[in-house]
Chain A
């Protein structure tokens, strides 16, 4: 990864006191990670987009992770943001409890978030509040669960030609 013109020191000085920020650090690969308050995600992204030194205009990816062992923060929505002019990349994370898996939709800020949020809903069941059309996008419509939550088996349970002894199940 090419280094950005914005150093982590400058960045943390500018954003260290943002009201939506919980904490931030730079990882071993030089990527800036921010943990933010899930309820203020729209404000956070709009603020970062208006950052004068490096306006962060591009949502590279949006996904989620399930950590069943993290009580109260089982789900995490991850936003990958990119400033194209300064080559500054951010990984912004918002933790959610599994019982209240809802977060504001970013569709009002980035139109490209639409399908990524649908995908994240499809696989993790996270409700993106304010999304114009939150329905499954990749899995079949009849599916009645969210397959990447860790309580569900990856394997197809209807498969009958596998002998458990040979497949470690």
Chain B
């Protein structure tokens, strides 16, 4: 049986359907997220399983991985990020077009994990803003899917004006990310 996305709330009559633009766009965005995998270690292996036939992230509208940040909606950071890698990760985030979301997969990306050491970034949220954290070392594919579903919830319920708000700009400025 093919399950398709439920239509948003609205007014329906013969030959017409009316709802708010926010809801339609949110629905479209949430169900066609293009992830950019930034996989540096074992969490990346779990991600491969997540994309594979058994778990199949494609079921949730994310089968199209984008290996260029410019066409990606969702940055998936999976694995240890060293301090030397930090500026590169930030550049990748910077090259993504709005609206963009970030999911931090695994203990290392979330907090540095076991690598409490001088060379490792103690959580990617020190260089870029993160929307969803997936704990685990490494997390199972089910957890990664859960994280993507949380991102979908965020995308679905986000106001179309959020990315233009002063609050959002201040948040980016706090990371020294240029706002356009």
Contact = CB atoms under 8 A, between A and B. Distances in A.
> Would you call the interface of chain B mostly helix, strand, loop, or mixed?
loop
B122 interface: yes
A140 B89 CA distance: 14
Interface string A135-169: 00011100100010000111110110110000000
Which range holds the interface residue count of chain A? 10 to 19
Contact of B120 (A143, A152, A156): A156
Contacts of B84: 138-140
B118 A156 contact: yes
Interface residues of B, number: 13
Interface stretch (B20-28, B109-117, B137-145): B109-117
Nearest to B110: A161
Contacts of A161: 111
A154 B118 contact: yes
A37 to B, nearest CB: 33
Nearest to B116: A155
A155 B111 contact: no
A42 B16 CA distance: 87
B119 interface: yes
B119 A147 contact: yes
Nearest to B120: A156
Contact of B122 (A153, A154, A158): A158
Nearest to B122: A159
A156 B117 contact: yes
B83 interface: yes
Interface string A32-60: 00000000000000000000000000000
Contacts of B118: 147, 152-156
Contacts of B112: 156, 159
A143 B82 CA distance: 13
Contact of B116 (A139, A143, A162): A162
A155 B122 CA distance: 10
Interface string B50-86: 0000000000000000000000000000000011101
Nearest to A159: B122
B118 to A, nearest CB: 5
Interface string B95-124: 000000000000000011000111110100
B82 to A, nearest CB: 8
Contacts of A138: 84, 119
A166 B111 CA distance: 17
B117 A154 contact: yes
Interface string A6-31: 00000000000000000000000000
B116 A140 contact: no
A159 B119 contact: no
A155 B83 contact: no
A139 B117 CA distance: 12
Contacts of B119: 138-140, 147
Which 8 A-B pairs give the minimum distances between C-beta atoms? Answer: A140-B84, A159-B122, A147-B118, A155-B116, A140-B83, A156-B122, A159-B116, A156-B118
